[in-house]
Each structure stands twice: as C-alpha cells, then as structure tokens.
C-alpha cells in the first residue's frame, strides 16, 4: 500500500490560502479519481478539491473553518500498490518575523476588510472568512476577542461568529467593556489621530418590511465595490459607435457558424476582439498600481462580467485574449458564461484579469458608469444596441438613414490614466468596431 498526499491546489496568482467549508468524504471512505473530497472558499469563489487518485481516505489534517495555504497537505489517501509513504509536512515553529510575513500575506488577501477594521489591534488570529463576516455584520475587534472559539487552539470559526451575530440580534449578548488604559501608557504610545469616516445613519425596519440577509458573495462584492471607489479616482469617457456592419454580418453568418462550430455567435466575442486589439495599441491601459509604482502587464487577460442565478455578478477571465481568433474567443466566452450560470467556475477562472468589460446593454441600459475592478485601472461598459436615425455621409452628400448604434462608457483611474489616454482608448475601440469587415470569414 502507498499513501498519497492531497494538497491544496494553486487557485490563481493572487490567492495564497483558502478556508475549508465542508468535508465531503469521511475517514475510511473509498474515493474514486476526480471525486470531490472537500469544499473550500476564498474571498473570490467557492470550489471543490478533487482527488487525483483512487483509494481510501485515512487522515484529514485540517478541520472545517481552518485556513490552509496553497501547497499544504490537507489529507492522506491510501492507494493500492507499493510506494514510498509520503511523510506529513513538519510543523515549523513560527518566529516573530515569520509571523509578521504571514500576517502581511493575509492582509493582502483580505484587503477588502482591513479598509474598515484594524485587526492588528488584536493578538489573536482570525481567518479571512471570519474577518469578512465581522466587517459585514459590524462586529468590532473588541467583540471578536470576547467570542469563545471552538476551532483549533480556540480559534473563532465561522459558526462561532454567526452564532454571536444571531445572539446579538436576539438581544442575548451585552456590549463588551473596553479595557482601561492608564494615562501614562497613552502618553507613551503617542497615537496619531486619524480622521474618522462618517457613520451611516441607522436604518429602522417597520413591522411590514421584509429583512433579507445578504449572501456571502453579495457581502464580498459590496466591500469590493466600496474599496474600489475609495482607492481609485474614477472618471468616465463616453462615445457612440455605429455597429451596423457588425449587426448585419452576424445576422448573415450566425446560422453557418452554429453548424460549423457548434457555438452560438453573440456580439460579445466580437466586442472582446476589438477591445483586445485596442489594448495592444494602448498598453498603458493594461496596468496596475502598487504604491508609487506602475506594473505594466505583459498578458492581456479580459474579464467579462457575468450574471449569476442569484442576481450577483462574477467576472471570469479570458486569458491571453489578444491571441485568440474569433472562433477561439467565441468558445471562451460561451464556456465561461455557461459555467458561471451553473456555478461551475474554478478559482483560476476568475484570477489574473488585467482589463474588464461589462455588458450593461443586456439589461436594456443604453450606458453605464461601471466601478473599476481592482487592482485594474479601467473598465468598459457596453450599452444596448439601438436602431436610430443617423446622418450618413457619402461622396454625393449627406442623408438620413437607419443605423444600429451603441454607447461605450469607459471608467478609468485618473491617478494613472489621464483624459487623453482614456479617451483615445475608447475611440480606438469605436474605430475597430466601425471598420468591421463585412466580407470577413469566421
């Protein structure tokens, strides 16, 4: 018999750890190859971890609500045949310096929550999931420290904090008393006074109102949007594009496209193709900001906002979009959209985006002012395609005709993208759309 170490897989370039939410297999249970062994959650998406081998689960090294780093062994599976027994990873004593590094990594993963709550005030460790719930429910650090944790080493778990929130709503808890600090200690620390953000006015529900709990993803999206507005200086540029040629070409070829490729040809891959070309022309729109430096991205990875069944939005990413032809772009768009609707996206599917496109026209909007998807610096909103009267210029003079037009709304970070670059970029997208070759082969 041999033993196989099941490790937490890599889930994208910016994801360093995940929280175990559910064990799907019990110790002693037989596992087939590709069977889901457990469910995990990051601050982006929930996912399953499948087994790479057939065998029997003999040991689970972590419990529900434990935070596991990418590459760590999470379970031991006994397989048939002979082989070297994989030794579990040694527990390394964490030095103060190493602990500081770990805390820094955690802060990077959960930057959406630290914007409002300073968890460094506490000497205890809290998982990203617990921090997110604490911020969403308005649980202070002082309150967190008074919660009796049932997790490993007394750690506060998701169930612990949710139980605390329910008890607080039911009036079963009392506000903790802040610790008394001597005047001498206050004088010695010399704290820097910070401007406090204005508190939102309390909302009172009447007896006839319905109170609906936000979903976990809804809370994360809300924090991500607020954090983006607080980080970037949002400005917008708007332009109208004539897409009559695209409309007529798609109408002519979509039947043959379906027969040959087995894919539905929508407008989205055509628009994505134009955006990828424009980014190649203006690479300084494909950047991120890190402090006082700019990171110019080598790859063009286009995020496409997709609606989920519960009304939330998610942004799967088309990797190296500029290297795809129209058929490849169509397959990528349809695949990600279908898996998003079926809640079948993998963590890596939503990682690594460098520029985002959102189609507000899907909901009938003619334009929108989208919020930048951090850490990117720009996002493009596609408005609804409308049939409108327009002035058509010809060598024989101008006349009025019926054209298909749409608005493009470009939001960008004015810290690093000035009005000239932001405007030139969306103008270039318009130029590519209007110059579409009606005789092209797909």
- Residue 21 sits in a domain whose CATH number is 2.40.50.100
Average pLDDT over the chain reads 83
Residues of the domain holding 69 = 2-79
- Indicate whether 276 and 382 sit together in one domain: yes
Q: Which of 89-103, 139-153, 208-222 has the lowest mean pLDDT?
A: 89-103
Report the pLDDT averaged over residues 413-440.
Answer: 97
Q: Which of 143-147, 262-266, 300-304, 371-375 has the lowest mean pLDDT?
A: 143-147
Task: Classify residue 389: in a domain, yes or no.
Answer: yes
**pLDDT given for residue 14 in this prediction:** 59
Confidence bin at 160 (pLDDT 50/70/90): confident
Q: Output the CA angle 29-34-40, nearest 5 degrees.
A: 80
pLDDT greater than 70 at residue 334: yes
- Indicate whether 154 and 40 sit together in one domain: no
- Indicate whether 146 and 36 sit together in one domain: no
Residues 6 or more apart whose CB falls under 8 angstroms from that of 31 comprise 25, 37, 51, 53, 54, 55, 56, 57, 77
| Three-class secondary structure of residue 45 per DSSP | coil
Task: Classify residue 86: in a domain, yes or no.
Answer: no
pTM of the model: 0.61
pLDDT greater than 60 at residue 85: no
CATH code where residue 242 lies: 3.30.559.10
- 27-31, 124-128, 184-188: which is most confident: 27-31
| Phi, psi (rounded to 5 degrees) for 423 | -75, -40
**pLDDT given for residue 82 in this prediction:** 60
Q: Which of 26-35, 155-164, 397-406 has the lowest mean pLDDT?
A: 155-164
- Indicate whether 171 and 276 sit together in one domain: no
**pLDDT given for residue 121 in this prediction:** 56
Alpha helices in 50-203 (DSSP H): 96-109, 111-114, 128-137, 141-145, 158-169, 183-189
- Indicate whether 143 and 251 sit together in one domain: no
pLDDT greater than 90 at residue 342: no
- Indicate whether 366 and 244 sit together in one domain: yes
pLDDT greater than 50 at residue 112: no
**pLDDT given for residue 245 in this prediction:** 97
Residues 6 or more apart whose CB falls under 8 angstroms from that of 404 comprise 242, 243, 244, 246, 247, 385, 386, 387, 388
Q: Last residue of some domain: 79, 109, 143?
A: 79
Report the pLDDT averaged over residues 58-80.
Answer: 91
**pLDDT given for residue 157 in this prediction:** 79
| Count of domains for the chain | 3
Task: Classify residue 250: in a domain, yes or no.
Answer: yes
Task: Classify residue 442: in a domain, yes or no.
Answer: no
The number of residues in the chain equals 442
Q: What is the pLDDT of residues 369-400, one digit of tens each?
A: 999 999 999 999 999 999 999 999 989 999 99
Q: What is the pLDDT of residues 206-254, one digit of tens each?
A: 778 888 888 777 887 888 889 999 999 999 999 999 999 999 999 999 9
**pLDDT given for residue 316 in this prediction:** 95
pLDDT greater than 50 at residue 106: no
- d(C-alpha 355, C-alpha 280), whole Å: 12
Task: Classify residue 50: in a domain, yes or no.
Answer: yes
Task: Classify residue 125: in a domain, yes or no.
Answer: yes
- Indicate whether 423 and 348 sit together in one domain: yes
- Indicate whether 25 and 120 sit together in one domain: no
- Indicate whether 262 and 396 sit together in one domain: yes
- Indicate whether 108 and 44 sit together in one domain: no
- 103-107, 129-133, 172-176: which is most confident: 129-133
């Amino acid at each position: 018999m041999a033993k196989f170490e099941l490790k937490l897989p890599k889930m994208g370039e910016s994801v360093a750890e995940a929280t175990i939410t559910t064990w799907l297999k019990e110790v002693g249970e037989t596992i087939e190859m590709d069977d889901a062994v457990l469910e995990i959650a990051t601050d982006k998406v929930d996912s399953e971890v499948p087994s790479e081998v057939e065998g029997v689960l003999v040991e689970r090294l972590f419990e529900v609500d434990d935070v596991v780093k990418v590459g760590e062994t999470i379970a031991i599976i006994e397989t048939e045949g002979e082989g070297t027994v994989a030794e579990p990873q040694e527990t390394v004593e964490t030095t103060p310096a190493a602990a500081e590094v770990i805390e820094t990594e955690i802060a990077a993963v959960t930057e959406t929550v630290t914007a409002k709550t300073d968890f460094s005030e506490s000497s205890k460790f809290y998982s990203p999931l617990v921090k997110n719930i604490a911020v969403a429910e308005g649980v202070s650090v002082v309150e967190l420290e008074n919660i009796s944790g049932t997790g490993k080493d007394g750690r506060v778990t998701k169930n612990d904090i949710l139980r605390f929130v329910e008890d607080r709503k039911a009036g079963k808890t009392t506000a903790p008393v802040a610790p008394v600090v001597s005047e001498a200690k206050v004088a010695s620390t010399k704290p820097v006074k910070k401007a406090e953000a204005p508190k939102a006015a309390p909302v009172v529900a009447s007896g006839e109102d319905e109170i609906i709990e936000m979903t976990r993803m809804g809370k994360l999206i809300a924090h991500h949007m607020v954090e983006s507005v607080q980080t970037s200086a949002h400005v917008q540029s708007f332009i109208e594009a004539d897409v009559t040629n695209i409309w007529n070409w798609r109408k002519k070829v979509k039947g043959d496209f379906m027969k040959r490729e087995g894919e539905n040809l929508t407008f989205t891959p055509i628009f994505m193709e134009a955006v990828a070309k424009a980014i190649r022309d203006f690479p300084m729109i494909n950047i991120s900001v890190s402090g006082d430096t700019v990171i110019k991205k080598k790859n063009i990875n286009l995020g496409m906002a997709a609606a989920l069944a519960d009304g939330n939005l998610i942004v799967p990413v088309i990797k190296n979009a500029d290297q795809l032809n129209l058929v490849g772009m169509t397959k990528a768009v349809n695949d990600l959209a279908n898996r998003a609707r079926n809640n079948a996206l993998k963590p890596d599917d939503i990682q690594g985006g460098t520029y985002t496109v959102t189609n507000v026209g899907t909901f009938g909007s003619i334009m929108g002012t989208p919020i930048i998807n951090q850490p990117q610096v720009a996002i493009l909103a596609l408005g609804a395609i409308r049939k409108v009267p327009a002035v058509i210029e010809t060598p024989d003079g101008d006349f009025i005709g019926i054209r298909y037009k749409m608005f493009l709304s470009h939001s960008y970070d004015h810290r690093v993208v000035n009005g000239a670059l932001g405007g030139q970029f969306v103008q270039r997208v318009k130029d590519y759309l209007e110059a579409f070759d009606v005789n092209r082969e797909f």
